[in-house]
Amino acid sequence: MKKIILIAIFVLAFMGCDIMYNNPTETELKGALLELNPATPDFSVNVRYGEPEWEKILGFYKAETKDIFLFLVNLKTEDDIMFAAIHEFAHHVHSTRYVLPKKGEDGYKDYEWHNGDFQAIMDGLLRDAKGKGIYKGDRTANGGFIELEA
CA distance 72 to 78: 10
Query: SS3 for 69?
Result: strand
CA distance 74 to 127: 24
Domain of residue 82, residue span: 26-131
> With 50 as the cut, is the pLDDT of residue 99 above it?
yes
Report the pLDDT value the prediction gives residue 95, as an integer from 0 to 100. Answer: 87
More confident residue, 133 or 56: 133
Number of domains in the chain: 1
pLDDT in tens, 42-77: 999 999 877 666 667 788 899 889 999 998 877 878
Residues in the chain: 150
140 within domain boundaries:
no
Name all contacts of 3-9 with Cβ < 8 Å and 24+ positions apart.
none
33 within domain boundaries:
yes
pTM of the model: 0.73
**Which phi and psi angles does 109 have, rounded to 5°?**
-70, -25
Contact between 57 and 68 (Cβ < 8 Å): no
Please report, for the domain that includes residue 56, its CATH number: 3.30.2010.10
30 within domain boundaries:
yes
12 within domain boundaries:
no
> With 80 as the cut, is the pLDDT of residue 39 above it?
yes
78 within domain boundaries:
yes
